[in-house]
Structure 1
């Protein structure tokens, strides 16, 4: 009977430590926005209510929008003039593509 509180305490500590260690940090998104970072320049196209993002690594001057904010379930982009900002939910993203030339 004396060992029962110790076993419960050790089990609780192991459980909480295991869940704390298994959490991913918010700074490294892994969903559909995984390749994108704040400040990246992208070409954004809208097709039937869905958005496609293309990042041209060899031609960074060829872009239509810039990523200004990211969350777990949204991305915010602004156009080249920095006049319009658009918040796009993850459910409206069709694809995120990175294009590299001359590897």
Structure 2
């Protein structure tokens, strides 16, 4: 009763933080050129039961691009990842910047 209380984060903020953490993981797998791990991590951004729904609502074009990349990675593998590494990292950087701005606005 007199212990430390835990403040619950509102759902939108919690989802943005989860996406931000997933971005860190996918960025590492892209830099390591690990195709299987990258494809698995792309699911976080695609699957509606994970962060897919929020990605569609707030980052529709990026969501579509990630879905396309997953298909191409499955077909062409590490060659496609190496060719598009910079483009992928830039997209995730841009999403992360947007999320950071939204989180700051929510907190302020």
| TM-score normalised by L of structure 2 | 0.24
| TM-score normalised by L of structure 1 | 0.25
**Greater relative contact order (CA < 8 Å, ≥ 6 in sequence):** 2
Q: If you compute each CA radius of gyration, which structure gives the higher value, 1 or 2?
A: 1
Q: Give 1 or 2: higher strand fraction.
A: 1
Q: Give 1 or 2: higher helix fraction.
A: 2
